[in-house]
Amino acid sequence: MTDPGDDVTGVTDRPEYQKALAARISDYESRSKACWSECEAMRGGTDRDGNTAVKWSAEALKWARLREEMQETLDRRAHNLDLINHEREMSGLRRGN
């Protein structure tokens, strides 16, 4: 049982947390782009360069996947906060009657 007003959702609406997630997404995206650039630079060379390009592309895919996962987390949080705010508004309307 919780007291009235307790946050039982586990979703915090602190803006600094949202900004930190957005910054991490940006960082992952820039790392992915940098890895793709390295991959492109290595293509067309020797077999050894080709192998290095494959490693860079794998690294780029890893960062791109992490960026997608983090974006999904941010989107899900934003959606949950919208639902929570809507429920609070509706709850206030119900209490007023």
pLDDT in tens, 11-53: 566 778 888 889 999 999 999 999 999 999 888 888 888 899 9
Tell whether 4 is covered by a domain.
no
Q: At what angle do helices 47-96 and 15-42 cross, to 10 degrees?
A: 160
Q: Output the CA–CA distances (angstroms, integers) from residue 48 to 20, 44, 51, 54, in the order listed.
A: 39, 10, 5, 10
35 and 60 Cβ atoms separated by less than 8 Å: yes
Length of the chain: 97
Tell whether 50 is covered by a domain.
yes
In the chain, how many domains are there? 1
Tell whether 84 is covered by a domain.
yes
Tell whether 78 is covered by a domain.
yes
21 contact partners, CB below 8 Å, separation of at least 6: 70, 73, 74, 77
Q: Residue 75: which domain range?
A: 15-96
Q: Is the pTM of this model over 0.85?
A: no
**Residue 10 has what pLDDT?**
57
